[in-house]
Amino acid sequence: MSLFDKFQPIVEIRAELEELGIMPFGAVTEKILSATEAIVNGYKVILAGTNNYLGLTFDPECIAAAKKAVEELGTGTTGSRMANGTFAEHVKLEQELAAYFDRKHSIVFSTGYAATMGMGSTLAGAGDVIVLDADSHASIYDGVRLGGAEVIRFRHNDAADLEKRLRRLGERISNTLIIVEGIYSMLGDQAPLADIAAVKRKYGGILLVDEAHSLGMLGKHGRGVAEAAGVEDDVDFVVGTFSKSLGATGGYCVSSHPELEAIRFAIRSYIFTASPSPSVIASTRVALRLMQERPELRDRLWENAHRLYDGLKQLGFAVSPEVSPVVAVIIKHRDQAIAWWNELMQRGAYVNLVMPPASPTTDSLLRCSVSAAHSSEQIDRIIEAFAALQAPASASDPIT
């Protein structure tokens, strides 16, 4: 048994794709033309798979702030937050995030993955219990495995199944962490947080919500699904990322529990990695402000989401269960998904190809994410690219 034998299935898939001249994973972006267009693998494409939900990556104020930070503070911190990597700007961003979420405490991480994994691995440990949605992100699963707590999964978005599993815990509920996401990244479906919060109020436990894909798009202030559902007081910890709506890199956790300040010094993904570079912090601070000052971006995002979702559904494609800025076309056969991904690229539309085990089921996905920066014409061109793949027999016989 070789150390490398377990990678053989991946080697075979890669060889198969190379023979076909298709490399969907790690597609090379050769030139960025705007927030919505680029040259990818030699093709000029509309970017329909970047998670740049509010289109802020090319905002002049964000770019100016990043440039100024590089000139004044250098290209990087070269140290962790525990050593020399805490600059005044890191502290200011933490204060601004706490104020935005109306929480008392905040931690800024170097990546969203580090935030989610770090909180999952630190909040609950040996002797504790974690009850999480079965479709949780890989960073959540990685974190809870590291922590050593007992891990119990409940059926995706099923508050009744969550209740059943919490009821069985009895007195152990006081040592239980419940983890869900706001919007799930693969299919764009929302957690029924009002129902989940009601279960939490009935039985107890600590609730952590990952709002990575819902920040900036839901709720009166754009704080996510918890705000939209009116249950923010029931959510103990909110984690998320700067790499979606805020157009940068990094992650965060906010909470009103004073223990978060002590927990900060136990999170390995926080204390053993270099802190975010000054330019990232600077652009994120501006993006956070702009997100609040420009609610019209949220309106535009949802207009585009409805336009793409309705257009693909009318073509007869099997799409996500509900409208969101993540719109996935569900395809039964892997080879079909690969071929269509390549053809979409050639027709000027870049989307994400997702195959098992990354997809939540045995199906493959052509995952689109829309942006407030997309024009109506660009959304229509994405729909036209899908329409050219294959005309379905009828809307009642969807392409899968």
Active site residues: 185, 213, 244
Structure tokens of 347?
Answer: 């027709």
**Sequence letter at residue 58:** F
Bridging pattern class, strands 206-210 and 237-241: parallel
Structure tokens of 33?
Answer: 């033309």
Residues 6 or more apart from 131 whose CB is under 8 A from it?
152, 153, 154, 162, 165, 166, 169, 176, 177, 178, 179, 205
Tell me the C-alpha distance between 112 and 107, whole Å. 11
Tell me the C-alpha distance between 289 and 312, whole Å. 34
Residues 6 or more apart from 306 whose CB is under 8 A from it?
323
Q: Report whether 353 contacts 335 (CB < 8 A).
A: no
Element containing residue 261 per DSSP (H, E):
helix 259-263
Instruction: Give the phi and the psi of residue 132 in degrees, each rounded to 5.
Output: -130, 155
Residues 6 or more apart from 143 whose CB is under 8 A from it?
116, 117, 118, 119, 120, 121
Residues 6 or more apart from 2 whose CB is under 8 A from it?
none
Q: Report whether 72 contacts 236 (CB < 8 A).
A: no
User: Within 13 Å, how many C-alpha atoms sit on residue 211's CB side?
Assistant: 29
**Which strands form 43-47's sheet, in the order they lie side by side?**
29-32, 37-40, 43-47, 349-350
